[in-house]
């Protein structure tokens, strides 16, 4: 079992839809959870950073962490064509070298 | 805040030449920087972890003599691809850890696209 599992998609939704992106992980030592957005031929951009279980909201984005289920989600409300990108979940134990373990990324297309 | 730059953004070189890529944290100090490479439609692959003032730690399978990493200051790390070959063509991305704020996260540069002919 891989440490972080993420459905690569592709995922195609109409503009205005609510998007749900998910990752599962196996190592209970993971404590810090991030979502990155990567446009084609660009470096990843940090969208959300969370530590504890629960929800964190920032504009149209909501990150959700359920440590008991080892399950994290990113919700995008009122999706826009500009949200079309690959979304990567990234997790770390927060110790040692602080290396991130990435999901494979989900490619999202928002159709006008 | 938390801006990371990379230079150059793209480079084309002949086989056998060396290429240096710079990674700078513009508005924070980064004791730790990371170097990744990414092939088309694949996720990021960590190459090495770079710590300011010490030798980089390379991931298994990454040749340290081919990919030279120098982290001489708290805002600059460089990756030199020595004697580049076509198979080294890839997208190289650096990231930096802001030790003063949300130190568990990494902030990424825009990437450098390398094409070796």
- pLDDT value at position B59? 95
Tell me the pLDDT tens digit for each residue of B72-109. Answer: 899 999 999 999 999 999 999 999 998 777 778 899 99
- pLDDT value at position A96? 72
Give how far B83 is from chain A: nearest CA, Å: 24
Establish, for the pair of chains A and B, how many residue pairs have beta carbons separated by less than 8 Å.
55
Asked if the Cβ–Cβ distance from A99 to B110 is below 8 Å, we say no
Three-class SS state of B80: strand
The confidence band for B52, taking pLDDT boundaries of 50, 70 and 90, is confident
d(CA B51, CA B24): 13
Mean pLDDT score across all residues of chain B = 93
**Residue among A74, A57, A4, A99 nearest B95 (CA):** A99
pLDDT tens for chain A, 112 residues long, are 678 999 888 999 999 999 999 999 999 888 999 999 999 989 999 999 998 889 999 999 999 999 999 999 999 999 999 999 999 999 998 777 688 999 999 999 999 9
Asked if the Cβ–Cβ distance from A98 to B104 is below 8 Å, we say yes
Q: List the single residue in A with minimal CA-CA distance to B32.
A: A97
In B67-107, which residue ranges form alpha helices assigned H by DSSP?
Answer: none
Asked if the Cβ–Cβ distance from A32 to B105 is below 8 Å, we say yes
Asked if the Cβ–Cβ distance from A36 to B108 is below 8 Å, we say yes
Cβ neighbours, 10 Å, residue A15:
13
Q: Suggest the residue from B3, B41, B105 to mutate for an interface test with chain A (most A CBs closer than 10 A).
A: B105
């Amino acid at each position: 079992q891989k440490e972080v599992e993420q459905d690569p998609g592709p995922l195609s939704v109409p503009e205005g839809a609510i998007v749900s992106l998910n990752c599962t992980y196996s190592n209970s030592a993971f404590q810090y959870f991030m979502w990155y957005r990567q446009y084609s031929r660009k470096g990843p951009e940090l969208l959300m950073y969370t530590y504890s279980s629960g929800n964190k909201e920032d504009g149209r984005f909501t990150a959700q962490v359920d440590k008991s289920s080892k399950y994290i989600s990113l919700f995008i409300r009122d999706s826009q064509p500009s949200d079309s990108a690959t979304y990567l979940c990234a997790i770390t134990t927060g110790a040692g070298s602080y290396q991130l373990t990435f999901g494979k990324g989900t490619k999202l297309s928002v159709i006008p | 805040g938390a801006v990371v730059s990379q230079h150059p953004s793209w480079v084309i070189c002949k086989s056998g030449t060396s290429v240096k890529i710079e990674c700078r944290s513009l508005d924070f100090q980064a004791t730790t920087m990371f170097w990744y490479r990414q092939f088309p439609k694949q996720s990021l692959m960590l190459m090495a972890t770079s710590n300011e003032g010490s030798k980089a730690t390379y991931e298994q399978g990454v040749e340290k003599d081919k990919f030279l990493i120098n982290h001489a200051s708290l805002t600059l790390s460089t990756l030199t691809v020595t004697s580049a070959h076509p198979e080294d063509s890839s997208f190289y991305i650096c990231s930096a850890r802001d030790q003063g704020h949300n130190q568990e996260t990494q902030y990424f540069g825009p990437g450098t696209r390398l094409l070796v002919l």
